[in-house]
A and B are shown apart, each in its own frame.
Chain A
Amino acid sequence: METSINFSKFLVILPEIFLTLWILFFIIFGVFAGGGNLAKQRMFTLVAILGLVVTFILIFTSDWRAARLLSDLFVQDRLAVFMKLLVTFTGICILLISEKYRSFEKLFIYEYPLLILFSVLGMLIMISSNDFISLYMGVELQSLSLYVLASMKKDSNKSSEAGLKYFILGTLASGFFLFGVSMLFGIAGTTTYTELSVILVNIDNYSPLLALAVVMIISSIAFKLSAAPFHMWTPDVYEGCPTTVTAFIAVVPKIAAVAVIIRILYIPFGNIYDIWYQILAMVAIISIFVGAFGAIVQENIKRLMAYSTIGSIGFVLLALSSGSQQALESSLIYIVIYSLSVLGCFVIIVSMEKDNVALEKITDLSGISRTDPFSAICFSILLLSLAGLPPFAGFVGKFYIFRSLISEGFVELAVLGIIGSVISAYYYLRIVKIMYLDETEEQIIFGYNFSSKLILGISSILVISFLLYAKSVVSFIEYISYSVS
Chain B
Amino acid sequence: MLSMAVFLPLIGSILSGLFPKFLGKKGVVWVPSILCVFSFIISTFLFHDAISGESYEFHIFNWIQSSSINISWSLKLDVLSGIMLFIVSLVSSIIHIYSIGYMSHDPGQARFFSYLSLFTFSMLILVSSSNFVQLFLGWEGVGLCSYLLIGFWYKKNEANNAAIKAFIVNRIGDLGLILGICAIYKTFGSLVYSEVFFRAYSFAPVDILILGQPIPVLELIGFMLFIGAMGKSAQLGLHTWLADAMEGPTPVSALIHAATMVTAGVFLVVRCSPIYEYTTYALGFITIIGALTAIFAASIAITQNDIKKIIAYSTCSQLGYMFFACGVSAYSAGIFHLMTHAFFKALLFLGAGSVIHALSEQNIKNMGGLSKHLPFTCIAMWIGCLALAGIPPFAGFFSKDIILEAAWSSHTLLGSISFYLGIVTAFLTAFYSWRIIFLVFHVSTKNNYEGVRESPMTMLVPIGLLSFGAIFSGWLGLDLVDTTKDFWVDSITVIARHGTLQYTHHVPLLIKLLPTIIAVSGIALAWIIYVKFPKLATIFSIKLRLLYVISYNKYWFDEIYEKYICDPIKSLGKFLWEKGDIQIIDKFGPDGISNFCINFASRLRKLQSGYVYHYAFSMFFGLIIFISWHFLVFLGVY
Q: A residues engaging B (CB < 8 A)?
A: 164-165, 168-169, 172-173, 176, 206, 208, 211-212, 215-216, 219, 223, 228-230, 232-233, 235-236, 275, 278-279, 282-283, 290, 293-294, 296-297, 423, 426
Contact = CB atoms under 8 A, between A and B. Distances in A.
Contacts of A164: 612
B618 A229 contact: yes
A169 B608 contact: no
5 contacts: A169-B616, A215-B630, A275-B630, A282-B626, A294-B601
Contacts of A297: 598, 601-602, 605
A283 B605 CA distance: 19
Given A168-B616, A236-B610, A279-B629, 12 more contacts: A169-B616, A206-B634, A211-B633, A230-B619, A232-B607, A232-B614, A232-B618, A233-B615, A236-B608, A275-B630, A283-B622, A296-B598
Contacts of B619: 169, 172-173, 176, 219, 223, 229-230, 232
The secondary structure that dominates the A interface is helix
Interface string B358-387: 000000000000000000000000000000
Q: What 8 pairs across the A-B complex have the smallest Cβ distances?
A: A229-B622, A232-B615, A211-B630, A296-B601, A293-B601, A297-B601, A215-B626, A232-B618
Contact of B597 (A176, A216, A219, A293): A293
Nearest to A173: B619
Contacts of B618: 229-230, 232
B557 interface: no
Contacts of A172: 616, 619
A147 to B, nearest CB: 13
Contact of A176 (B605, B612, B623, B631): B623
Contacts of A426: 597
B623 A219 contact: yes
B621 interface: yes
Contacts of B633: 211
Contacts of A293: 597, 600-601, 604
B507 interface: no
A279 B628 CA distance: 11
B476 interface: no
A208 B634 contact: yes
B495 interface: no
Contacts of A236: 608, 610
Which of B618, B623, B626 gathers most chain A CB within 10 Å? Answer: B626
Contacts of B604: 290, 293-294
Nearest to B603: A293
B612 A294 contact: no
B627 interface: yes
Contacts of A279: 626, 629-630
B623 A215 contact: yes
B631 A232 contact: no
Given A165-B615, A229-B621, A211 B600 contact: no
Nearest to A214: B630
B388 to A, nearest CB: 59
A290 B614 CA distance: 16
A233 B612 CA distance: 8
Nearest to B616: A172
Contacts of B623: 176, 215-216, 219
Contacts of A290: 604
Interface in B239-267: none
A172 B614 CA distance: 13
A294 B607 CA distance: 10
A275 B291 CA distance: 85
Contacts of B610: 236
Nearest to A426: B597
B608 A235 contact: yes
B615 to A, nearest CB: 4
Nearest to A298: B605
A406 B462 CA distance: 70
A203 to B, nearest CB: 12
A169 B623 CA distance: 14
Contacts of A208: 630-631, 634
Contacts of A212: 627, 630
Contacts of B600: 293
Contacts of A165: 612, 615
Which of B623, B633, B634 gathers most chain A CB within 10 Å? Answer: B623
Contacts of B608: 232, 235-236, 294
A173 B612 CA distance: 13
A174 to B, nearest CB: 12
B594 to A, nearest CB: 8
Contacts of B607: 232
